[in-house]
Structure 1
């Protein structure tokens, strides 16, 4: 039996135990490589992937948002959202404002400098997307997205 690409990359001698195992390991391996490339790009702009994600969410909303809602929209779960926001505030990228009606709610707003930073990042981020996955056809990317969503929805439906 010939080895497949993932077996070669992992220097795995025997075949995978199941197609499920091979698929999961392919997803994890690809995710790791993509995260490394995006992490490198974001570091060039003084951000972590999570910090970029917060700024991207705020820009997309176009108005101040409650901290909790930002946390719910994150691509990856961040256990220490307050610390993440503290660092963004220290860098001058966000402002916080407590809600006058409910003091437990804190609204987060982008600063002008963060908006300018995101504008500078738009082209390099878009170019990296193209470098990483632009070799796939539009139909292949749509199929990949559908399959990943199907896998993710299956996991989400089984959570307690």
Structure 2
């Protein structure tokens, strides 16, 4: 019921599903703000950091579409993000010899240095956000969030219907 107080809701939630989804949205907003604040200190957006993290983790250049498929958040303008990273000399584009329509993106040494600076503050942020949860609670939280995503992915939701009602409280 903490959420109801936070959003100053006067009436009970219509459904437990509504309360759970709104709790998830409120929590996601809080987390996004904290991550954006951290990455801003290093001149990055969360999406740019995500691209660099993917490239560092892979250890080799990747096609742009492969990077897009691995992103944590859906990014319609991945080319623009890569343009800005390239302008900052954090990535380099490489044309595919076999298929000129394919462009690979490689992480630059400068980006590896930047990521190394971010690593410890990011660990500290993770701990400040969820470090109060036990290992068992963290595992349970991860499994529940995965289960929620799988349930939504199993078919068209009511929100996809043309005349869907808003999930937000009135």
TM-score, scaled relative to structure 2: 0.91
Measured against aligned partners, the alpha-carbon deviations of 1:25-82 in whole angstroms (never above 9, x if no partner) come to 0000000000000000000000000000000000000110011000000000100111
Point out where structure 2 has 5 or more consecutive residues left out of the alignment: 158-170
**Is residue 92 of structure 2 the alignment partner of residue 95 of structure 1?**
yes
**Is residue 116 of structure 2 the alignment partner of residue 116 of structure 1?**
no
How far 1:102 moved relative to its partner?
Answer: 0.3
**What is the match of residue 166 of structure 2?**
none
Cα RMSD, aligned residues only? 1.0
How far 1:12 moved relative to its partner?
Answer: 0.4
Alignment size in residue pairs? 157
User: What SS class does the counterpart of residue 19 from structure 2 fall into?
Assistant: helix
Point out where structure 1 has 5 or more consecutive residues left out of the alignment: none
**What is the match of residue 128 of structure 1?**
125
User: What SS class does the counterpart of residue 135 from structure 1 fall into?
Assistant: coil
**What is the match of residue 29 of structure 2?**
32
User: Which stretches of structure 1, 4 residues or more, deviate above 4 A after TM superposition?
Assistant: none
